């Protein structure tokens, strides 16, 4: 049983190489549809906060229950005896259920698509980047487009890979599913505009659940100095996203910035052609290191008496 989760992690990452499941059966798409049902922007602050919190809690409970129910059927497949064949079969099933909750290949492909778009023209690169970020890309320079793409790659390495695996190691499939629900809710509701109070619970929940994984993501990117990462990360308004972004900036030796908001590793080189490819290589190495550490954590937790 102690090998079930580590093997499932390996299966999920291998299946991830094949791409994403169809939209109609993708659990994260389903989470987004649920969250999209709620139009809470016109509520007073207190009522908006309560309504947003209740909607989040109901959604998280449903997601957790479904994940628990599915994982339970996988455990039944291991009975009445835990043979190697049954263990591999259960790991295959659990890995297939885990896969839609992480997205490494899609993340890397989208980042490199920005570089390929820039090779056509700056306007095409800006348009491609606009699919990945919420900021206005219409006036960004070529260097700023690359910076934003690298930042998105680093930040989402946590959100889409390391954090789901971390919570899977701790709490199994329900842990990964609830994290992805929390992250999706923050992406859809966590804005500082008329939606702020309705999305405040979602934003704080994502901050709490991402706190440890974001720092683990910074670690597995193998930056030259964790103290420098901590110093640079404080320059961003987010308590978490600055960690993997700062680690990536320091590892690559490039400057990453959001105009008017922050500048990470300000003394670094400009993000020239090739920087995105280098960032993907570093991120890929981070996935390998992170997988090994998280799989070891999952094994150790279930080996403990």
Nearest CA among 152, 303, 162, 144 for reference residue 221: 162
Residue 189's pLDDT is: 87
Amino acid 304: pLDDT: 60
Q: Phi/psi zone of residue 33: left (φ > 0), alpha (ψ -120 to 50 degrees), beta?
A: alpha
For the chain, the domains span 4-303
Q: Which residues contact 126 (CB under 8 A, 6 or more apart)?
A: 137, 138, 140, 145
Q: Is residue 294 within 8 Å of residue 165, measured between CB atoms? A: yes
Q: Determine the pLDDT at residue 80.
A: 65
| pLDDT score recorded for residue 20 | 94
Let me know: does 249 contact 228? Beta carbons within 8 Å.
Answer: no
Contact 40, 195 (CB under 8 A): yes
What is the value of pTM for the model shown? 0.95
How far is Cα 185 from Cα 120, in angstroms, rounded to an integer? 35
pLDDT score for 194? 66
Would you state the pLDDT for residue 118? 96
pLDDT for 18 equals 95
Per-residue pLDDT of the chain (305 residues; tens, 9 = 90+): 689 999 999 999 999 999 999 999 999 999 999 999 987 667 788 888 999 999 999 999 999 999 999 999 988 877 766 788 889 999 999 999 999 999 999 999 999 999 999 999 999 999 999 999 988 899 999 999 999 999 999 999 999 999 999 999 999 999 999 999 999 999 988 776 666 778 899 999 999 999 999 999 999 999 999 999 999 999 999 999 999 999 999 999 999 999 889 999 999 999 998 999 999 999 999 999 999 999 999 999 988 65
pLDDT at 277: 96
Q: In whole angstroms, give the CA distance from residue 31 to residue 169.
A: 22
Identify the pLDDT of residue 195. Answer: 65
Structure confidence at residue 45 (pLDDT) = 82
Q: In residues, how long is the chain?
A: 305
| Alpha helices per DSSP H over the chain | 4-16, 27-36, 45-77, 84-98, 104-120, 122-129, 142-157, 163-189, 196-220, 226-233, 242-252, 275-303
pLDDT for 75: 83
Residue 76: per-residue pLDDT: 81
């Amino acid at each position: 049983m102690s090998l079930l989760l580590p093997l499932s992690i390996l299966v999920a990452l291998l299946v991830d190489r094949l791409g994403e499941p169809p939209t109609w059966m993708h659990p994260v798409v389903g989470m987004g549809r649920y969250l999209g049902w709620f139009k809470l922007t016109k509520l007073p602050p207190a009522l908006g906060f309560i309504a947003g919190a209740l909607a989040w809690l109901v959604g998280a409970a449903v997601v957790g229950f479904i994940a628990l129910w599915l994982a339970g059927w996988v455990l039944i497949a291991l009975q009445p005896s835990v043979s190697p064949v049954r263990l591999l079969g259960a790991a295959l099933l659990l890995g297939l259920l885990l896969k839609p909750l992480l997205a490494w290949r899609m993340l890397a492909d989208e980042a490199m698509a920005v570089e390929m778009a820039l090779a056509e023209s700056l306007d095409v690169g800006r348009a491609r980047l606009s699919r990945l970020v919420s900021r206005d890309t219409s006036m960004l320079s070529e260097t700023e487009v690359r910076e934003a793409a690298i930042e998105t790659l680093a930040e989402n390495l946590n959100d889409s890979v390391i954090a789901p695996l971390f919570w899977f190691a701790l709490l199994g499939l329900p842990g990964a599913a609830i994290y992805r629900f929390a992250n999706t809710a923050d992406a859809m509701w966590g804005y500082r505009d008329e939606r702020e109070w309705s999305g405040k619970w979602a934003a704080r929940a994502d901050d709490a659940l991402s706190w440890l994984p974001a720092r683990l993501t910074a670690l597995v990117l193998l930056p030259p100095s964790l103290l420098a990462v901590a110093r640079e990360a404080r320059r961003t308004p987010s308590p978490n996203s600055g960690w993997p972004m700062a680690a990536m900036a320091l590892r690559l030796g490039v400057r990453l910035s959001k105009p008017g908001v922050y500048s990470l590793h300000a003394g670094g080189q400009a993000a020239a052609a090739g920087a995105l490819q280098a960032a993907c290589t570093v991120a890929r190495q981070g996935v390998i290191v992170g997988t090994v550490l998280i799989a070891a954590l999952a094994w150790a937790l279930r080996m403990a008496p």
